[in-house]
């Protein structure tokens, strides 16, 4: 009789523990649909915008249409292997220079006194990158139009800042 009561008490405690633990575990590990639906509702709220006539956009079919992938604004695609072999596989001089700039293989020119606005396209981006790295200024990286160079600029400044903290 005593063992039956102990078994019932253990089962009651186990049931109570499961009652409180199940919602936590299910939310954390099993309920990914609720997160995506909450993200969609947030996106819907953010995507309603004013049209030229001043009317709110009420197009509810926007989730059904496939999202067109926007191409990145990059000059050429560079992989880690390209940086490892010093961009030797690039025959075009402009492509090779871009690769070396992206990988950080070129010596930084003294562009602190250069007016980058007077330059064009990639030369302007190279100038902004060199100035940003020299001044450790992330805002100059934001002026770079090429996404890969912008990312390389931000990564280089971050690396330099972290290296300076480790040394000090």
In this prediction, residue 118 carries a pLDDT of 84
Q: How far apart are CA 95 and CA 17, in angstroms?
A: 63
Best-predicted range by mean pLDDT among 15-19, 93-97, 163-167? 15-19
Domain ranges of the chain: 80-167
pTM of structure = 0.49
* Average pLDDT of the segment spanning 99-115: 74
pLDDT at 67 over 50: no
* Average pLDDT of the segment spanning 89-110: 80
**CA angle, residues 29, 32, 36, in degrees to nearest 5:** 150
In this prediction, residue 22 carries a pLDDT of 85
């Amino acid at each position: 009789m005593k063992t039956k009561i102990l078994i019932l008490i253990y089962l009651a405690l186990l049931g109570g523990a499961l009652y409180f633990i199940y919602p936590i575990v299910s939310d954390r590990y099993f309920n990914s649909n609720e997160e995506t639906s909450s993200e969609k509702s947030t996106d819907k709220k953010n995507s309603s915008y004013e049209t030229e006539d001043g009317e709110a956009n009420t197009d509810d079919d926007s989730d059904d249409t496939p999202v067109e992938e926007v191409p990145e604004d990059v000059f050429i695609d560079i992989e880690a292997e390209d940086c490892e072999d010093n961009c030797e596989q690039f025959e075009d001089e402009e492509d090779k220079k871009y690769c070396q700039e992206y990988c950080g293989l070129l010596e930084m020119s003294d562009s602190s006194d250069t007016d980058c606005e007077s330059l064009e396209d990639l030369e302007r981006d190279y100038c902004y990158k060199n100035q940003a790295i020299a001044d450790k200024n992330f805002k100059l990286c934001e002026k770079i139009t090429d996404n890969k160079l912008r990312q390389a600029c931000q990564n280089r400044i971050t690396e330099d800042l972290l290296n300076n903290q480790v040394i000090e």
